[in-house]
Amino acid sequence: MKNNILKSAALMGMLATGVFSVAPAYSASVSLGGYTFEPPPTPGSPNATGVATGLQFSQFTYVGTGSDNYPVGYQQGNPQNNGGKSFSADQFSPDSSINPNNSNADGYFSFSITKLPQLASFSLTGLEFVTQPNGNASPTNILIRSSLDGFTNNLFASALGSKNVWTPFSTPLSLNDLSGITFRIYPFGQNNNNGAKNLDIDNVFVKGSTTPVPTPALLPGLIAMGAGVWRKRKAEQAAEAEAEA
């Protein structure tokens, strides 16, 4: 009898604390959003598109001493993706000694992702984009860093493609249980000592998954069921005690 009482008490305790709450649903690794730079507004937009429910993307920006060609004008976009517009800037670091605290010398592209209250967290599994070094005064390399370590270590580093040619890039990521993150894309390196200028970037998208906040949807029904079990067991115990007497 004592064991039965303990089991019943344990059941009620589990119900009261929500142990039987519905587990959070994890979405599969899919596109969570990104930037195509297509209008509206005219002449192009730095706003994200295709943003997953529960996430918020910042505008895509350039930070540095050059110009970001917005709203003055966007460059022609990647023809492999139906043309349109791309995002461009014209002043980056001439070498690989990137100082995250000196955007005057080391310009970069940037965007941020944050979760809204309905999400417990999000994870990122990949980042895709295309670039075009534009003309002789264009950068030769690119690297990507994040706010998770103060923009210290590289998540991705590569040589850029040929001048005046759109080159796709795709890098795997393993960034889990995030509430927010900022990416910086640092082009750098000189072509023929002409400076690291004039880079077009297009179709910037991240892949990953989201985790909603757990919802105890079954809790009221389970509590009612547990109360019924408790009452039934108490009646059985009373009958057993009466029979023993």
Determine the Cα–Cα distance for residues 4 and 13; give it in Å rounded to an integer: 14
Report field, pTM of the whole predicted structure over 0.85:
no
Q: Which residues pair with 171 in a beta bridge?
A: 127
Residue with tokens 């050059």: 66
pLDDT score at 65? 85
Domains of the chain by residue range: 30-212
Q: State which of 7-21, 53-67, 77-91, 96-110 shows the largest mean pLDDT.
A: 53-67
Q: Give the sign of the dihedral formed by CA 210, CA 151, CA 143, CA 131.
A: positive
> Which has more confidence, 199 or 238?
199
Residue 179 clears pLDDT 80, i.e. is over it = yes
User: For the ranges 41-45, 51-55, 176-180, which has the lowest average pLDDT?
Assistant: 41-45
Give the pLDDT confidence of 149-178 residue by residue, as tens digits.
999 999 999 999 998 899 999 999 999 999
The H or E element containing residue 228 is helix 219-244
pLDDT band (50, 70, 90) for residue 2 = very low
Give the pLDDT confidence of 234-244 residue by residue, as tens digits.
676 666 666 66
From first CA to last CA, the distance across the chain in angstroms is 15
Residue 73 clears pLDDT 80, i.e. is over it = no
> Which has more confidence, 72 or 231?
231
Give the pLDDT confidence of 132-143 residue by residue, as tens digits.
998 788 899 999
For residue 116, give every residue at least 6 positions away whose Cβ sits within 8 Å of its Cβ, in sequence order, or none: 54, 55, 56
Assigned CATH for 30-212: 2.60.120.260
Give the pLDDT confidence of 91-102 residue by residue, as tens digits.
888 888 888 888
